[in-house]
């Protein structure tokens, strides 16, 4: 695991928490050092602060995604929705807002590690997220064994989310994947279809499968008991 932050206190706390779980941890204080450590040490995941003294953390995400699919969980300032969205659009898998609780951060990292898959795995003919099962070839889906009657766009939206289970997909990313590259700001489309999809999934508001990240996007999660 690579922890990237220029605040020694945060590096110490996060490193101690990870090592307490028998994980090997290395650290970096700058974006340039982070890029070098990922290349040389090939960590299982990167915990990346966006406020670094040299390279912006978003630029670090962008550069990493040019050559590696290592899971990235970013640390953002409270209220920095635009920064969260930018980091996710550049390839981050998830985010945690400062000040954060260590258990929450570790949970986000576990989810990123568990759901991080190779391109071949994500292209699998069958995707399963909790009790949601998608047959890509037959263009069909079910929840808890119950077949879902989905429109083509609802299916495409569900599929896009299921290909990266547990990860946040931004409004822009979903619009472009489902509606095409000409779309990116028509968030009303997304709200309507997400609402329709949520109803068809019969989501419990207390334990939803389709989770809204306000101002950022959506994620599809396993609500059957896993992270």
Q: What residues are paired with 128 via a beta bridge?
A: 133
Q: Are 71 and 44 in contact (CB under 8 A)?
A: yes
pLDDT per position in the chain (227 positions), as tens?
A: 999 999 999 999 999 999 998 889 999 999 999 999 999 898 999 999 999 999 999 999 999 998 888 999 999 887 778 899 999 999 899 999 988 889 999 999 988 887 665 444 555 678 899 999 999 888 899 999 999 999 999 999 999 999 888 888 999 889 888 888 777 677 888 999 999 999 999 988 889 999 999 889 999 999 887 55
Can you list the domains of the chain with their CATH numbers? 2-115 (3.40.50.2300), 119-220 (1.10.10.10)
pLDDT at 226: 56
Q: Are 217 and 177 in contact (CB under 8 A)?
A: no
Q: What residues are paired with 172 via a beta bridge?
A: none
pLDDT at 119: 47
C-alpha closest to that of 164 among 58, 93, 107: 93
Query: How far are the Cα atoms of 6, 38, 68, 90, 160 from residue 60, in angstroms, in the given order?
Result: 14, 11, 12, 9, 25
């Amino acid at each position: 695991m690579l922890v990237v932050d220029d605040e020694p206190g945060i590096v110490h706390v996060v490193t101690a928490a990870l090592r307490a779980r028998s994980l090997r941890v290395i650290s970096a204080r700058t974006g340039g050092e982070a890029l070098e450590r990922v290349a040389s040490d090939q960590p299982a995941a990167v915990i990346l602060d966006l406020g670094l003294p040299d390279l912006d953390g978003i630029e670090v995400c962008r550069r990493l995604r040019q050559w590696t699919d290592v899971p990235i969980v970013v640390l953002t300032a409270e209220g920095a929705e635009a920064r969260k969205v930018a980091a996710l659009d550049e390839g981050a898998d998830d985010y945690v807002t400062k000040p954060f609780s260590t258990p929450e951060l570790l949970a986000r990292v576990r989810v990123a590690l568990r759901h991080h898959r190779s391109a071949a795995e994500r292209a699998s003919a069958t995707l399963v997220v909790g009790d949601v099962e998608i047959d890509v070839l037959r263009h069909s889906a079910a929840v808890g064994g119950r077949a879902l009657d989905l429109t083509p766009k609802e299916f495409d939206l569900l599929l896009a989310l299921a290909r990266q289970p547990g990860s946040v997909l931004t409004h822009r990313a979903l619009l472009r994947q489902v509606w095409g590259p000409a779309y990116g700001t028509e968030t009303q489309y997304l709200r309507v279809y997400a609402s329709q999809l949520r109803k068809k999934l019969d989501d419990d508001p207390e334990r939803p499968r389709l989770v809204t990240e306000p101002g950022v996007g959506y994620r599809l999660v396993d609500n059957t008991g896993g992270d």
